[in-house]
Each structure stands twice: as structure tokens, then as C-alpha cells.
Amino acid sequence: MEYASGGCLQDLLNNRGYLDMDSVLYYAAEMVCGLQFLHSEGIIHRDFKPENILFSNKGHIKIADFGLAAENVFGNKTISGSIGTLHNMAPEMIQCQIYNSAVDWWAFGIVLCKMATGRSPFYEGRKAEKCIHFILNCQPSYSEQLSTELQDLLEKLLKKKPYKRLGFKGDIRRHPFFKSINWIKVEIQNVEPPFQPEPQPNPDVSIPASALEVLNIDTASTHSYSLQDFTYLSPSWQA
């Protein structure tokens, strides 16, 4: 993938807190197109989060970091493995159940809520056990000031049961939140992005050894863990 010089979505959220609704709608539509393309190619991203959503120099999004992606997952095929960033992981992944592309639509719901409100709809703290508890047992929480269409979309994306989750079930493009979207123009990037990102300096591509370390979490443990958007790999997957 070519260098995306516009930074990432997390940088934008750090600077602005949250996005205006026109920007939320625009980026959400591009994300839908991106995820649907990946899934049509049998790819489940499994770590869809603001840090992995980059901007081109023209302001279009690019889904990045496929280091945890699963390939050749077509049709009714399912896979297993609790892997990804804990705050964005779907319930079935946390519970080490088999799953499919519905996990990416759950993560999209988390990202969508963060764009619109600046917050996750679940626990945002640093304790793994509390994060897991909220995802598995609590309903998503977000501002009632959001439009009824957006609230309904979030509710349908954040279904605990993956087979009920919009994106995997039903045509997400037909949801009322996207009623103003011309999907053909979005797919060919013929819609003007909400803003022109400032070019970022060329990155230092050297990778320090510390960046390659993987943090292990035992979800059955009663200990408290600190976490800051870490990448999670189930102990059962360790060599």
C-alpha cells in the first residue's frame, strides 16, 4: 500500500475530540465500502480501529495494518482465535468462540461511535476485566443527542449476537443513516472529502525491538491489567 500522508483517524479524534455529522457520514460510508470489499475477498481485518484508518493526501480513508487479518474466509466458513485490540473486540472473539466477518462490523460500530461522540460506547478504562465485563454484559451507551438514525445504526451494529449484526445481516447501505449517500460516487472516490489533511513528514521506517513485543492477557484471570489500545493475542495462539 502506498504511503498515506494524511495521518490516521485517531490523530484527528485526538485533535478534535469528535467529528461533525457530515464528516462522520462521509468516513463511515468509505469504511463500509472498504470493509465490504475486504469481506468479498475473504479477508477479515480483526483489528479495525481508528489507529488503523489512515488518510491519503486527498483525505480519503485507507484501511491499514493487516498483520492480524484472516484470509480465505468465504461464505459460511468460520475461524477462531481471540486476537485484536480488546476495546474493539466483539463478544464472540472475547469468549473464544468461532466467528466470521461480523466481528469487523462490531468494530466498525465502535469506531462510528467514537467519531460521533469522541467516546467508546463501552468501558474506556485501563482494566481488562472491566472492559470484558462491559462488552459481554452491558448495553452500549451513547449520547441521546445523536440522531435517531445514527442511534439505530449503532444499535444494529453492536448486537451481541453476531448473526443479528447489521453488515453481516442485511444491507447496511440501505440503512436510513446513509440515505443521502451516492454509493457509486463513494466507491470511485468522486465525493469531496470533508477536509484536506496536512501532509505528514516521511516516517522513520525502522522498528524498535520494543514495538514488536506482544502483550498477553489471560481473560480468565482475576488480576487487574493496564491497557492502552494494545493489540491482544489469545494465550492459546502463542507458540
Q: Residue 198: inside a domain, yes or no?
A: no
Task: Return the pLDDT at 75.
Answer: 86
Q: Residue 61: inside a domain, yes or no?
A: yes
Distance CA 94, CA 83 (A): 8
Q: Residue 206: inside a domain, yes or no?
A: no
Task: Return the pLDDT at 93.
Answer: 97
Q: Residue 211: inside a domain, yes or no?
A: no
Task: Respond yes or no: is residue 47 known to be catalytic.
Answer: yes
Q: Residue 171: inside a domain, yes or no?
A: yes
Domain limits at 86?
9-186+224-237
Q: Residue 200: inside a domain, yes or no?
A: no
Task: Return the pLDDT at 197.
Answer: 78
For residue 229 the three cell numbers come to 489500545
Q: Residue 202: inside a domain, yes or no?
A: no
Task: Assess contact for 233 and 214: CB atoms under 8 A.
Answer: yes
For the entire predicted model, the pTM comes to 0.83
- Return the closest-CA partner of residue 99 out of 154, 153, 165, 33: 165
- Return the closest-CA partner of residue 35 out of 23, 47, 19, 22: 47
**Structural domain count of the chain:** 1
22 contact partners, CB below 8 Å, separation of at least 6: 194
CATH code for the domain in which residue 134 is found = 1.10.510.10
Per-residue pLDDT of the chain (239 residues; tens, 9 = 90+): 556 668 999 999 999 999 999 999 999 999 999 999 999 999 999 999 999 999 999 999 999 999 999 999 998 899 999 889 999 999 999 999 999 999 999 999 999 999 999 999 998 888 999 999 999 999 999 888 999 999 999 999 999 999 999 999 999 999 999 999 999 999 999 999 998 877 666 655 555 555 444 434 343 333 333 344 444 444 444 43
For residue 23 the three cell numbers come to 464528516
Task: Return the pLDDT at 238.
Answer: 40
- ∠ CA 52-28-166 to the nearest 5 degrees? 100
Task: Return the pLDDT at 27.
Answer: 98
Q: Which of 20, 47, 204, 229 is catalytic?
A: 47
